[in-house]
Amino acid sequence: MKQFVQDVLHSIATAFMMFSRVPMPRTEWKPEHMRYTLAGFPLVGVALGLLLALWWLLCRWLAFDSIFFGAGVALLPVLFTGGIHLDGFCDTVDAISSHAEPEKKKAILKDPHVGAFAVIGVASYLIADFALGTQLDGDHLSVVILFCIPVMSRAVAGYCSVSAQSSGAGLLSGMADAAAETKTKSALTACFIVTAIAMLAVSPLAGLFVTLGAGLSGWLVGRMAKKEFGGMSGDLAGYLVQVSELVMLGLLILLQRVIWIWFW
């Protein structure tokens, strides 16, 4: 039991070291320390969700306008994660836009150079994220779902990474190979369910659509990864995080504008 607790704590520390800029105690990169790293991935989302909630409180307290708030919604995740998921998004956009064979696309993922399609893709993404952030209703119900979005995106990306075939060598492949698959899947599923329940509790209709958006994003990206790249990779997991978060935020705002969701 003691060893299990130590492995879990080391895995959580590894998740924060890899996927965020949060200072963590240094730990050795051993297979047993990566056993539950993907299970701890949503906890990074919890920290990011708290940061976004604090940003909402600060903007409300200082009476900042929606443009300033939207800028924080777009940029704080990049600063918090160090841009690791946005980097995966860039590489994936470059690879998909090449319309090449799967092996060539995998080579593009590993290429350190930035292509024109990556620049266009990340610029478009940040503009869309900023625009959606400016439209978010400034009530308590919205901020609860805003907090949940990065948690759910990481639960979905982690589950897809463990479940899907790996596209080859890489850090994600190493984590997936070292993962205690059954326990990791159970932890990620539980996290997904708890997060969905939290959103459904504050707004049943919005919670339902946001949850479905996350699940659909995971299914579509997982299918694309298998067809276009032969399996999941770290870059594709980052792409999934970014895409699912934009989809969930977009669905939330669409429902706020089209339907009186708070009366459901």
Segments making up each domain of the chain, as ranges: 41-263
* pLDDT tens for each residue of 70-102: 999 999 999 999 999 999 999 999 999 888 787
* Residue 146 reports pLDDT greater than 80: yes
What mean pLDDT comes out for the span 149-159? 97
What mean pLDDT comes out for the span 12-18? 88
Comparison of pLDDT for 113 and 54, the residue scoring more = 54
* C-alpha separations of 41 from 125, 145, 155 in Å: 22, 18, 7
Report residue 157 as tokens.
């990306």
pLDDT of amino acid 35: 77
* Residue 172 reports pLDDT greater than 60: no
What mean pLDDT comes out for the span 27-41? 76
What mean pLDDT comes out for the span 101-114? 82
pLDDT of amino acid 157: 96
Are 11 and 36 in contact, with CB atoms under 8 Å apart? yes
pLDDT of amino acid 263: 46
Mean pLDDT of the chain: 87
What is the pTM assigned to this prediction? 0.90
What mean pLDDT comes out for the span 216-223? 95
Are 171 and 234 in contact, with CB atoms under 8 Å apart? yes
* Residue 204 reports pLDDT greater than 70: yes
Count CA atoms closer than 13 A to 63's CA, side-chain side.
0
Alpha helices in 82-139 (DSSP H): 84-98, 102-110, 116-135
What mean pLDDT comes out for the span 2-7? 70
* Residue 41 reports pLDDT greater than 50: yes
